[in-house]
Amino acid sequence: MNNPWHNRISEQFFAKPHDQIDWHQSLAVDGTLLLAAILGSVISYWVARKLVFGLISRVVQKTESTWDDELLNSKLFKWLSLLLPAVIILTAAPHAIITHHDGVPIFSSFIQISAKVFIVILSFLAISSLLNILERIYSRLEVSRELPIKSFFQVIKIILVLAAIILIVSTLIGKSPVLIFSGLGAMTAIIMLIFKDSILGLVAGIQLSANRMVARGDWIEMPKFGADGEVLEVALTTVKIRNWDKTITTIPTYALISDSFKNWRGMSNSGVRRIKRSVSIDMSSVVFLDQESLPRLRKISLLIETWNTQNADLANPINARSLTNIGTFRAYIREYLKNHPKIAQEETLLVRQLQPTENGIPVELYIFTTDNRWAYYEDIQSDIFDHLLSVLPEFGLRAFQAPSDYSFQSMTNVK
Predicted pLDDT of residue 389: 94
What are the beta bridge partners of residue 222? Answer: 227
Q: Please state whether beta strands 262-263 and 238-243 pair in parallel, antiparallel, or not at all (unpaired).
A: unpaired
The span from the CA of 369 to the CA of 378, in Å, is 10
| Residue 259 near residue 224, CB atoms below 8 Å | yes
* DSSP code at position 294: G
Distances (CA, A) of 347 to 47, 274, 367: 67, 9, 7
Provide the angle, in degrees to the nearest 10, between the axes of the packed helices 196-211 and 150-173: 150
Q: Which residues of the chain have pLDDT under 50?
A: 1, 5, 9-21, 103-104, 301-310, 314, 320, 406, 408-415
Predicted pLDDT of residue 408: 46
For 19-76, write each residue's pLDDT tens digit: 444 555 555 656 666 677 777 777 877 777 777 777 777 777 777 776 767 777 778 8
Residue in 210, 225, 227 with CA at minimum distance from that of residue 263? 227
H helical segments located in 212-300: 255-258, 265-270
For 310-335, write each residue's pLDDT tens digit: 455 545 555 545 678 898 889 889 98
Predicted pLDDT of residue 410: 47
Q: Phi and psi at residue 230, in whole multiples of 5°?
A: -95, 135
The span from the CA of 84 to the CA of 46, in Å, is 10
Predicted pLDDT of residue 57: 74
Predicted pLDDT of residue 230: 93
Predicted pLDDT of residue 412: 47
The residues of the chain that CATH labels 3.30.70.100 are 271-287+324-414
- CATH topology for 271-287+324-414? Alpha-Beta Plaits (3.30.70)
Q: Which residue type sits at 264? A: W
Q: Which residue type sits at 202? A: L
Predicted pLDDT of residue 346: 94
| Residue 300 near residue 323, CB atoms below 8 Å | no
Predicted pLDDT of residue 337: 93
Predicted pLDDT of residue 392: 92
Question: What's the distance, CA 127 to chain centroid?
Answer: 23
Predicted pLDDT of residue 7: 52
The residues of the chain that CATH labels 2.30.30.60 are 211-268
H helical segments located in 343-404: 374-391
The span from the CA of 356 to the CA of 285, in Å, is 13
- Domain 211-268 class, CATH top level: mainly beta
Long-range contacts made by residues 162-168, C-beta under 8 angstroms, separation at least 24? 164/120, 164/121, 164/123, 164/124, 167/120, 168/117, 168/120, 168/121
